Amino acid sequence: MPRLNRLTSLLLCGLLGLGLLLGEYWLLLEHDREERQQQLQHWGSLGTGIVVLQIQNALEHSRMLAQQLAGTDAPHSLTDLARRVVRDDSVFAGIGTIELVEQNRRAAFENRIATSIRFLQNQHLQASPVQLQYYPVASYLPDDANALPQGLDLSHRGNSKWVLDLARRSDQPMLLSGQPLDTGMPRLDVVTRLDNDHTLLLLHLRQDKLIQPINNELISGNPLHHVRLLAWGKNQPDTPLLDSAPGRPLPTDSPIFSRLSPVGGTDLQLGAYALQPVRPQLSLVAWIILAASALVLALFLLAQQRQLRGSLLLERLAASLRLQLQELDRTLREQISDREQSQQALAQSEARQRAILQASSDAIILIHRDGHIIQVNPAAAKLVEQSAQSLENLPVGVLFPELYTPEPSPPFEQTAQRHEGRPFEANLLRSDAQRLPVELSLSRVVMPDDWFYVTVCRDISRRKEQEEALIRLKNSLAEQVEVQSRQLAALLDASPLAMAYIVDRHLRQVNHAFLELFQQQGMDVIGQPTMPYFENPEQWERTGKALYSLLNDGKVVQTEVRLRTGKGQLFWCRLHGRAVNPSVPKLGTIWVYQDISAQRAVEETLRHAKILAEETSRAKTEFLANMSHELRTPLHAILGFTEMGQLRAQGQGDAKAEQYFARINTSGSRLLTLLNDLLDMAKMEVGRMEYSIGRGNLTQCLREACDEMTPMAGRNQIQLKLSCEPEMLAADIDPFRLGQVIRNLLSNAIKFSPAGSEIQVRACLTERDGSDWVMTSVEDRGPGIPEKELETIFDKFIQSSTTKTGAGGTGLGLAISREIMHAHHGWITAGNLPQGGAIFTFAIPCHFQLKEDDSDVS
């Protein structure tokens, strides 16, 4: 039984030892697998970095080539450049030019290259359709299998149009990717602008050269021996742009390393894949550790056979050893991982710190805790006007006297503590011994094993100048305000008009004229309400509601009210008020008071006089109307008997009696015309003139008036000429009244025109304010009308000074004509002709529209 127990124990210990050895073997294999995986990731990072660096070098090289080619003879320079650049060991496989061709320049470009502009579709070249812009290939060298044909429009390839536009508008080379002319890997080209924005330089890149190291001597090995590199465009994720192992199937597993890099305006997705599956192998050290573990287990088993009683202790020892090995392995892995992370974080932190220092527009100075300068950024060196290297290790007190410590004690930390955490002003000693006012912000940066100070320095010289200018401006404004206040007070006191400044309807300031107007003594009125100065409280309330709403709208108000003086006397006053600031009513209002009692009395007197004059004029007008009726009856009898006497004298052959009767008839006719004019004017003044306005023939009315006045013109050897355009002029008129106007104008023209002259009567149709009007003019060859009398001759009983020659007339004809024109909603004017003579023009609308004040027009 004890032997069986020993055998069972030995078997169990053997199985346990074997399991431990297998577990340790598996852990060692996993460790080797992870190391190999990390090595492959390292090769992948190195390979992708080489690709990005090669492309960036190619972009920079293309920019320099474009600068060399700019300004030279393009064809010859392109040929020479192709011989120097396109080589077997070069990254460039071809060179060409691309031109921007507008639609209107397409034919000229095609004639120049002797071919049409084409684009690639289904591996065939087809004529490019009509569009606003093209990017055809103008030239390409060498003419090999990868050459692009002349006239090939590259704007049809994916997002090539956007890339070409961006390269044309900027100085940065751009990466252009697209499908080749035949099946195979996609093309990868570099385009960059030449000396103008219409020509681009095209450089074709060799994909095999882009994935090769720059110099194999600079690295320990070629990454392509370990990983396969692939690169895709972000907009073309299906077809790789670069492949270090072309012809092989694309990998389906995840890359061991990937990165996204923006290069040449294109986002490249790069990935590294293992060429062979990762097969872990144990190193010599691992085998030694495994052998040592096996030896320990063997010794343990041997000791267990020798001393069965110590088996439990040996098992515990083995378990403890296994745990220690696992813990050591885990600790080792964690240390390795922590170290890598800390190194990466430290590198990133240092890179960020350098970038911040270099890019900051503020001057930044790093100061050691002992007060010496560690580092300065370019902005600080520029501010001091010295190089950054010359400032390092100098005491900070050399630049800022406020931070200078003449004695070693107290240390710089105590000086820094007084200014730490809050900005303060100081003076910067520049290289030219000038003091520049600056603002310093001192902060402590604590590191794990040390600390230092960061000082941000800002130039405040401009701010200081502005502050001084503001102080001077403030003092100047204060002086101006004081002067203007005194001037305003002097103006108020010197003003003869009563003025007051009122806030919330209480007097805040008044001048002497106000005190005199309202019969007040002293300045006791200040602070008192304005209600006692009004006739009653209702008037005070009503006036405030009516005026203050307008004042708050920013308007200047004016009103006339009855106010009360301090002694209780009422007087009429005109108020002018304005708000100081309408948007802020609490600032109050300014009021000007003017005593208009005398003016009111004069106006009342004039009003009564006007009423009396109107009543007198009305009585005169009615008298004239009545007398005109009474006088016309005997005049008609006189004219009738004179005509009978004239006929009888003519029949008896008594020429002398016939002449007497003719003179009596002429004088009676003139007297009848005068009475008719007086009667018409009286009717117009009392509003009793009647009109019969209807559709009529204006041409016929003009012709009848001219025919009627022709005998009178013939006696004076004057010709009347009538012209109408068009021949038929129709309008809404009163033919009798309109004929009266025309006869009056013709009569005046015949009276004042010299013998042998002619009178022109013209009528035409015109448009005014969107409606049709008929305009008629009468031109004579008389003495004309003075310019200052062109309007007054239309007044009653007024004649022109140049026509008062004994020709007769009462001065009522033109006044009556104007009233008739107004009744037709028209107008009449007078003027002078350049060649001499007067012209009278009247116009009436073709369609009469009845107004509210036309009740007397039927």
Write out pLDDT tens, residues 228-269.
888 887 777 777 888 887 778 888 888 888 888 888 878 888
752 vs 762: CA distance, rounded Å: 19
More confident of the two residues 358 and 337? 337
Write out pLDDT tens, residues 296-336.
878 877 776 776 665 566 677 778 888 888 888 888 888 88
**Quick one: tokens of 514?**
């106000």
Which whole number is the average pLDDT over 435-446? 83
Examine residue 127 and state whether it is found in any structural domain, yes or no: yes
Q: Which residues pair with 242 in a beta bridge?
A: 231
Return the pLDDT at 2.
Answer: 45
Res. 6: pLDDT tops 70: no
Give the CA dihedral 820, 822, 827, 829, nearest 10 degrees.
60
> Is there a single domain that holds both residue 516 and residue 622?
no
- Cβ atoms of 564 and 535 closer than 8 Å: yes
> Is there a single domain that holds both residue 639 and residue 655?
yes
Q: What is the 3-class SS of 204-215, one letter each residue?
A: EECHHHHCCCCC
Return the pLDDT at 662.
Answer: 75
- Cβ atoms of 739 and 707 closer than 8 Å: no
Highest mean pLDDT among 187-191, 380-384, 495-499, 682-686: 187-191
Lowest mean pLDDT among 54-58, 131-135, 342-346, 631-635: 631-635
Examine residue 577 and state whether it is found in any structural domain, yes or no: yes
Domain harbouring 545, CATH code: 3.30.450.20
> Is there a single domain that holds both residue 589 and residue 658?
no
Tell me the residue length of the chain. 858
Label residues 375-387 b or e (16+ Cβ within 10 Å = b). Answer: bbbbbbbebbebe
Domain boundary among 560, 595, 630: 595
Give the CA dihedral 345, 346, 352, 353, nearest 10 degrees.
150
Label residues 115-151 b or e (16+ Cβ within 10 Å = b). Answer: ebbbbbeeeebeebeeeeebbbbbbbbeeeebbbebb
Examine residue 736 and state whether it is found in any structural domain, yes or no: yes
Write out pLDDT tens, residues 695-753.
888 888 888 889 888 888 888 888 888 899 888 888 888 888 888 888 888 888 888 88
Q: Please tell me the number of Cα atoms within 13 Å of 647 on its side-chain side.
A: 6
Domain boundary among 459, 475, 509: 459
Band the pLDDT of 409: cuts 50, 70, 90. Answer: low
Domain harbouring 722, CATH code: 3.30.565.10
Q: Which helix (H) or strand (E) holds 78?
A: helix 74-85
Region class of 371: left (phi > 0), else alpha (psi between -120 and 50), else beta: left
Write out pLDDT tens, residues 575-585.
889 888 888 88
Please give the C-alpha separations between residue 375 and each of 367, 379, 431, in angstroms, as whole numbers.
Answer: 7, 12, 18
**Quick one: tokens of 579?**
């708000």
Q: Which residues pair with 768 in a beta bridge?
A: 771
846 vs 848: CA distance, rounded Å: 7
Please identify which residue in the block is written with the tokens 């200081």. 464
Lowest mean pLDDT among 344-358, 451-465, 802-816: 802-816
Count other Cβ atoms within 10 Å, centred on residue 541: 12
> Is there a single domain that holds both residue 568 and residue 629?
no
Domain boundary among 542, 562, 595: 595
Alpha helices in 211-310 (DSSP H): 284-306
> Is there a single domain that holds both residue 578 and residue 617?
no
**Quick one: tokens of 417?**
């503590």
Write out pLDDT tens, residues 78-136.
788 888 888 877 888 899 988 889 888 988 888 888 888 888 887 778 888 888 888 89
Return the pLDDT at 805.
Answer: 47
Q: Which residues pair with 229 in a beta bridge?
A: 272
> Is there a single domain that holds both residue 694 and residue 839?
yes
Return the DSSP state at 199. Answer: E
Return the pLDDT at 784.
Answer: 84
Count other Cβ atoms within 10 Å, centred on residue 691: 18
Give the CA dihedral 53, 54, 55, 61, nearest 10 degrees.
110
> Is there a single domain that holds both residue 30 and residue 118?
yes
> Is there a single domain that holds both residue 708 and residue 745?
yes
Res. 858: pLDDT tops 50: no
Return the pLDDT at 3.
Answer: 46
Q: Which helix (H) or strand (E) holds 382?
A: helix 378-384
> Is there a single domain that holds both residue 276 and residue 166?
yes
239 vs 250: CA distance, rounded Å: 10
Return the DSSP state at 418. Answer: H
Q: Is 552 helix (H, G, I), strand (E, B) or coil?
A: helix
- Cβ atoms of 244 and 226 closer than 8 Å: no
Examine residue 473 and state whether it is found in any structural domain, yes or no: no
Examine residue 487 and state whether it is found in any structural domain, yes or no: no
Quote the domain boundaries for residue 551. 495-595
Write out pLDDT tens, residues 196-213.
778 888 888 888 788 776
Band the pLDDT of 343: cuts 50, 70, 90. Answer: confident
Q: Is the peptide bond before 410 cis (omega within 30 degrees of 0)?
A: yes
553 vs 363: CA distance, rounded Å: 54
More confident of the two residues 424 and 101? 101
Return the DSSP state at 36. Answer: H
> Is there a single domain that holds both residue 646 and residue 716?
no
Report the first-to-last Cα separation within the chain, whole angstroms. Answer: 155
Return the pLDDT at 850.
Answer: 62
Count other Cβ atoms within 10 Å, centred on residue 720: 20
**Quick one: tokens of 293?**
């573990």
DSSP assignments along 718-773, one per residue = -EEEEEEESS--EEEE-HHHHHHHHHHHHHHHHHHSPTT-EEEEEEEEEEETTEEE
Each as own residue / partner, the long-range contacts of residues 194-197 (CB below 8 Å, 24 or more positions apart, any chain) are 194/66, 194/69, 194/70, 194/97, 195/70, 195/71, 197/100, 197/168, 197/169
Helix 813-823 crosses helix 655-686 at what angle (to 10 degrees)? Answer: 50
Q: Which helix (H) or strand (E) holds 258?
A: strand 257-263
Res. 803: pLDDT tops 80: no
- Cβ atoms of 696 and 731 closer than 8 Å: yes
Res. 797: pLDDT tops 70: no
Write out pLDDT tens, residues 495-518.
778 888 888 888 888 888 888 888
Return the pLDDT at 806.
Answer: 45
Share of the chain above pLDDT 70, in %: 85
Res. 360: pLDDT tops 80: no
Examine residue 319 and state whether it is found in any structural domain, yes or no: no
Examine residue 471 and state whether it is found in any structural domain, yes or no: no
Return the pLDDT at 796.
Answer: 64
Task: State the total domains in the chain.
Answer: 5
For β-strands 719-725 and 758-768, DSSP reports them as parallel
> Is there a single domain that holds both residue 146 and residue 131?
yes
Return the pLDDT at 40.
Answer: 80
Return the pLDDT at 626.
Answer: 65
Average predicted confidence (pLDDT) for the chain = 80
201 vs 98: CA distance, rounded Å: 6
More confident of the two residues 843 and 654? 843
> Is there a single domain that holds both residue 516 and residue 638?
no
Examine residue 329 and state whether it is found in any structural domain, yes or no: no
Band the pLDDT of 72: cuts 50, 70, 90. Answer: low
Each as own residue / partner, the long-range contacts of residues 737-740 (CB below 8 Å, 24 or more positions apart, any chain) are 737/691, 737/820, 737/823, 737/824, 738/698, 738/701, 738/820, 738/824, 738/844, 739/701, 739/704, 739/705, 740/816, 740/817, 740/820
Return the pLDDT at 763.
Answer: 92
Share of the chain above pLDDT 90, in %: 2
